[in-house]
């Protein structure tokens, strides 16, 4: 019975995704100028995370996963995917980030700590781990990842968060 109630609750949350507060962390169109959201933002709550990252979901669940918002951004053929993982506690975000970035050089350009390369930006701030990914190198996707990361980080750092 409890499992069925959890499933119904998760489905209700997904159906009401448009109003979920995590979506307020996602930049709108024009960040950076010319870039637009491609498709609808998607929400994954609870076990639904396995539908998005089957092999990696356990790391998040072990550390207090709450929800994930995913939005793609595009300019012509260029694409960047933004994923914002919200954990129940900031300590969970620290642990997930630490495991994902073990052995990599940490920076502080975004969030409390971040890791950057030409294909990905990973950072955490408070209870959120943020991943921005592109599958192409070049100035255009790199600039988009930087602008999107800066906007998300500023939103997470705002006093009302």
pLDDT of residue 159: 85
pLDDT surpasses 90 at 17: no
Q: How large is the average pLDDT for residues 73-84?
A: 97
Sorted by where each starts, the structural domains of the chain and their CATH numbers stand as: 2-157 (3.40.1000)
**Omega cis (within 30) before 32:** yes
Q: CA gyration radius for the chain? A: 16
pLDDT of residue 112: 97
Instruction: Work out the percent of the chain whose per-residue pLDDT is above 90.
Output: 84
Average pLDDT of the chain is 90
Q: Which two tokens stand for residue 115?
A: 């890791």
Q: Which two tokens stand for residue 149?
A: 């990361």
Q: What is the pLDDT of residues 42-57, one digit of tens each?
A: 999 999 999 999 789 9
Residues 121/83, Cβ–Cβ less than 8 Å: no
d(CA 66, CA 151): 22
SS3 state of residue 105: coil
User: In angstroms, how far is CA 103 from the centroid of its own chain?
Assistant: 22
pLDDT of residue 18: 57
Specify the higher pLDDT residue, 113 or 2: 113
Measured distance between the N- and C-terminal CA atoms of the chain, rounded to whole angstroms: 35
Query: How many Cβ atoms are within 10 Å of 3's Cβ, its own excluded?
Result: 7
């Amino acid at each position: 019975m409890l499992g069925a109630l959890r499933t119904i609750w998760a489905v209700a949350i997904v159906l009401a995704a448009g109003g979920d507060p995590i979506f307020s962390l996602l930049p709108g169109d024009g960040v950076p100028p010319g870039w637009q959201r491609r498709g609808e933002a998607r929400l994954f709550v609870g076990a639904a995370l396995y539908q998005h990252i089957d092999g990696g979901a356990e790391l998040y669940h072990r550390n207090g996963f709450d929800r994930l918002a995913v939005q793609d951004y595009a300019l012509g053929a260029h694409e960047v995917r933004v994923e914002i993982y919200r954990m129940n506690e900031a300590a969970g975000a620290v642990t997930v980030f630490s495991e994902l970035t073990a052995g990599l050089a940490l920076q502080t350009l975004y969030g409390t700590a971040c890791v950057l390369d030409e294909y990905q930006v990973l950072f955490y701030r408070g209870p959120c781990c943020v991943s921005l990914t592109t599958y192409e190198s070049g100035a255009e996707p790199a600039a988009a990842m930087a602008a999107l990361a800066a906007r998300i980080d500023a939103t997470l750092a705002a006093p009302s968060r």
